[in-house]
Structures are given as structure tokens and as C-alpha cells.
């Protein structure tokens, strides 16, 4: 029987998309005798789905960046600092030379980028996977008037499988808008067999056709080994080399070092969790979002995406509140996800479905249109308004 009279401390590690949802909802749903502490190292939250827009100048930094002051107002205790150590058995973390101990630990630390693991990459281009890189690409694109644009996916897995497709389509559209399209070649290089291949061969084929219809050359199964920054050449494991003038890349992803050092990652390199309730093998320790590794029945990992992190966050909140209050019943994360695919010129498509469907994920691709683009814009505004 739970002790419903004693206040609990819930430590939420990481105040990104998943952590903000968990901390906010727990604070709203638990009485004030329980403590919700959020530990985050960055001062501001960045809404990543809008980074491709920032890269082409339709958003500015301030449009997609928010302080977490609203969480503090709600009663979430925010500790700003770098988590240096996690002890999952003791449910303790070290930050700013202090040790915090929780009754519950929710790990929502996302991914760490490892650009430096590919020689020459950092010197040769910029990534649209963080706000500084996206801003630099915006500056670089304005100086670029002819030549070759390469959108490069460096390795698998990477978050938001649609983002590189969006980036290529938006950059291509930008060239048309600036009347330089005839002087530009756009290429996509990726280790994947096709775009969003987990959505099924038919959907992937359709997406690829959409990219190619815009005269973007899609180079599947190209795994970069190094980039010759001086001569502007990408070198791939299959022996192919490719020239570029403007390089926009998706960096290699890995679990954050603090998570690896804590012995939390499994064979996949990510934190193994129960796919329905997000529990790790440690008592009262949960992990959600990009930092987790969930193997689907088809043998591939559940994609890393905000919509997934959000859905998992809601389930973990529900179940912790249920456990603490002793009321209601527990919930399961059911593997559903949806994702807009911005295609430029005021249009967007969408992929949605169920990744946990048996015997394989069931995904539907919706053709690009103006309404879907408005939906994406509305979602951005709604999300930033609701949580910040």
C-alpha cells in the first residue's frame, strides 16, 4: 500500500520537450506537499520543429525560443546546471556540486550530437539540428547564389526522420524564390534505404518521388566517413565522393555522456525501457523521449520525435500520479505518432499512424497542401503558448 500522506520528490532530468511536459503536468496534478524538481543546463527552451524555418529565414531566434519562467510560476523548482552524475539505484544526481535525491527519477535528457566524430564535418558545413547552426546556415544561404547544396544525414538513428527531407525541400524552394534555381543543384545523401523507411516501402517511395519531382537528387545508402573541408568534398564508405558548395547536415547522435557513464544504456546505445510504461530496470526510474531505445516488432527502433516524447511524458505523468494518489488505473503508451512534413511554398504534408501495430507499423502519408502548412504553423503557436 502506498503511503499517501508523505510528500514525494520527483526529479525530472532535462527540460526539453519531454521534460517540460512531465514537470508541468506533474506539478498541476500533484498536491503541493510533493516536490517537482526540473534540472536543465540551458537557460532557454528551443522549439526544434521550427529550426528548418529558421534556416531559411522565416523564423528568428526569438520566435522559437522561450524561458521556462511559466514552470517556476506553477511551482516547479528549476535547477539550472549541468547534470554531472546519475546514480539510478539511489535515484540521485549531482549538479552544481550538490546531490539531489528523488523518490522518482524521470530521465528526459535527449541526445548528444557528436559532429566531431566525422573528420572535417564541422569545418565544412553547418547543422540545422541546433539553433546556432540553423542561424549560420541562414547566413550562408543568403551568400550562396550558384553551385551545389548538399543535405547530409551523417548516421542513424537521428531524430525526426522527416527533418532532412524538409530541409532539402525548403532550401530548394528558397532557391526558386530567389530566382537562382537554374544555377543550383540540390542533393540529399543518407545512409537510409529511403526517406522515412519505417513508414513502409510505399510511403518511402512516394516521399522520395516527391523529393525527386523537385529535381533534388536522392542518394540512398551513402554513409559519410569524412569531409574534405578544403576541397569541399564528402567522402562516403561506398567509395563515392561528392562535391558541394553549401553543406547542411544532420549530426551523428549518441546518448548523453552522463547517461552512458551511469551505465544506463543497453546494447542499442540508448536507455532500454518498457515500451508501454517507460520504466527502466531501476525502481521508480523512468526514461522518455530521444534518450530511450525501444525496439519495434520489425526489429527497428521507434523513431525519436517530439510527438513520441510528448505521448510518453503524458503516460509517465498519469502513472506516477496514479501510484502516488492510489486513484484511477494505469495507462499505456500506444506507439502513435504524427509528423508534419513542410515542403515549401506554403505547403506541408503529414505522416501519421501507429508504430506499435503488429506485425508492422501502420503509417499513412497525406499529400502536401496549404491547410496542412497552416496546421503546422498553428501547432507551433499552440505548443509554445500552452507550455510557456
Residues that bind ligand FAD (CB under 6 A): 14-19, 39-42, 48-49, 51-52, 82-83, 108-110, 128-129, 159-160, 163, 256, 258, 289-291, 304-307, 309, 339-340
64's CB contacts (< 8 A; 6+ apart) are 46, 47, 50, 51, 53, 54, 131, 380, 384
- Smallest gap from Cβ 193 to ligand FAD, in A, equals 21
Report DSSP state, residue 181. G
- Smallest gap from Cβ 5 to ligand FAD, in A, equals 32
Identify which of residues 200 and 311 has a Cβ nearer to ligand FAD in the complex: 311
Identify which of residues 14 and 102 has a Cβ nearer to ligand FAD in the complex: 14
**Nine-digit cell string for 103:** 523518490
- Which run of H or of E encompasses 339? strand 336-344
- Smallest gap from Cβ 320 to ligand FAD, in A, equals 16
Convert 217-237 into a string of H (helix), E (strand) and C (coil). Answer: EEECCCCEEEEECCCCEEEEC
- Smallest gap from Cβ 33 to ligand FAD, in A, equals 26
- Smallest gap from Cβ 103 to ligand FAD, in A, equals 20
323's CB contacts (< 8 A; 6+ apart) are 2, 330
- Which run of H or of E encompasses 354? strand 347-354
Measured CA to CA, the distance from residue 376 to residue 341 in angstroms comes to 9
**Nine-digit cell string for 337:** 505518432
Is 356:275 a contact under the CB 8 Å cutoff?
Answer: yes
Q: Which residue is nearest to ligand FAD (CB)?
A: 16
Identify which of residues 228 and 276 has a Cβ nearer to ligand FAD in the complex: 276
- Smallest gap from Cβ 110 to ligand FAD, in A, equals 3
- Which run of H or of E encompasses 136? helix 131-143
Identify which of residues 129 and 218 has a Cβ nearer to ligand FAD in the complex: 129
Identify which of residues 30 and 83 has a Cβ nearer to ligand FAD in the complex: 83
Identify which of residues 91 and 232 has a Cβ nearer to ligand FAD in the complex: 91
Quick one: which of 324, 262, 207 has its CA closest to 92? 262
By the 10 Å C-beta count (0-12 exposed, 13-18 middle, 19+ buried), 345 is classed as middle
Identify which of residues 76 and 232 has a Cβ nearer to ligand FAD in the complex: 76
Measured CA to CA, the distance from residue 323 to residue 83 in angstroms comes to 27
- Smallest gap from Cβ 52 to ligand FAD, in A, equals 6
- Smallest gap from Cβ 67 to ligand FAD, in A, equals 13
Identify which of residues 104 and 129 has a Cβ nearer to ligand FAD in the complex: 129
Is 18:313 a contact under the CB 8 Å cutoff?
Answer: yes
Measured CA to CA, the distance from residue 92 to residue 87 in angstroms comes to 5
Amino acid at each position: 500500500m502506498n503511503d499517501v500522506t508523505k510528500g514525494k520528490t520527483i526529479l525530472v532530468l532535462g527540460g526539453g520537450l519531454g521534460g517540460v511536459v512531465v514537470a508541468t503536468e506533474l506539478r498541476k496534478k500533484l498536491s503541493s506537499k510533493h516536490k517537482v524538481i526540473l534540472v536543465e543546463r540551458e537557460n532557454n527552451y528551443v522549439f526544434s520543429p521550427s529550426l528548418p524555418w529558421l534556416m531559411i529565414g522565416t523564423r528568428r531566434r526569438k520566435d522559437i525560443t522561450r524561458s521556462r519562467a511559466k514552470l517556476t510560476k506553477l511551482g516547479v523548482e528549476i535547477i539550472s546546471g549541468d547534470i554531472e552524475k546519475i546514480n539510478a539505484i539511489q535515484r540521485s544526481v549531482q549538479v552544481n556540486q550538490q546531490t539531489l535525491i528523488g523518490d522518482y527519477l524521470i530521465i528526459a535528457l535527449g541526445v548528444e550530437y557528436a559532429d566531431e566524430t566525422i573528420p572535417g564535418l564541422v569545418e565544412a558545413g553547418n547543422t540545422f539540428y541546433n539553433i546556432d547552426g540553423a542561424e549560420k546556415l541562414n547566413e550562408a544561404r543568403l551568400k550562396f547564389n550558384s553551385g551545389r547544396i548538399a543535405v547530409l544525414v551523417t548516421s542513424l538513428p537521428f531524430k525526426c526522420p522527416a527533418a532532412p527531407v524538409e530541409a532539402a525541400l525548403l532550401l530548394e524552394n528558397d532557391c526558386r524564390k530567389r530566382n537562382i534555381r537554374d544555377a543550383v543543384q540540390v542533393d540529399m545523401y543518407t545512409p537510409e534505404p529511403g526517406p522515412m523507411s519505417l513508414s513502409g516501402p510505399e510511403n518511402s517511395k512516394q516521399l522520395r518521388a516527391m523529393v525527386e519531382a523537385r529535381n533534388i537528387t536522392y542518394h540512398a545508402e551513402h554513409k559519410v566517413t569524412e569531409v574534405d573541408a578544403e576541397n569541399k568534398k564528402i567522402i562516403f564508405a561506398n567509395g563515392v565522393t561528392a562535391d558541394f558548395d553549401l553543406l547542411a547536415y544532420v549530426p551523428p547522435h549518441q546518448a548523453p555522456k552522463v547517461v552512458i557513464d551511469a551505465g544506463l544504456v543497453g546494447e542499442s546505445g540508448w536507455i532500454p525501457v518498457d515500451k508501454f510504461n517507460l520504466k527502466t530496470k531501476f525502481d521508480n526510474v523512468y526514461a522518455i523521449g530521444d534518450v530511450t531505445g525501444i525496439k519495434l516488432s520489425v526489429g527497428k527502433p521507434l523513431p525519436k520525435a517530439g510527438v513520441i516524447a510528448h505521448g510518453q511524458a503524458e503516460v509517465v505523468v498519469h502513472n506516477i500520479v496514479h501510484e502516488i494518489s492510489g486513484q484511477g488505473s494505469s495507462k499505456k503508451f500506444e506507439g502513435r505518432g504524427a509528423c508534419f512534413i513542410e515542403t515549401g511554398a506554403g505547403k506541408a504534408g503529414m505522416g501519421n499512424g501507429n508504430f506499435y501495430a503488429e506485425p508492422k507499423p501502420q503509417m499513412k502519408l497525406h499529400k502536401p497542401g496549404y491547410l496542412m502548412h497552416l496546421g503546422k504553423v498553428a501547432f507551433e503557436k499552440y505548443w509554445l503558448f500552452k507550455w510557456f
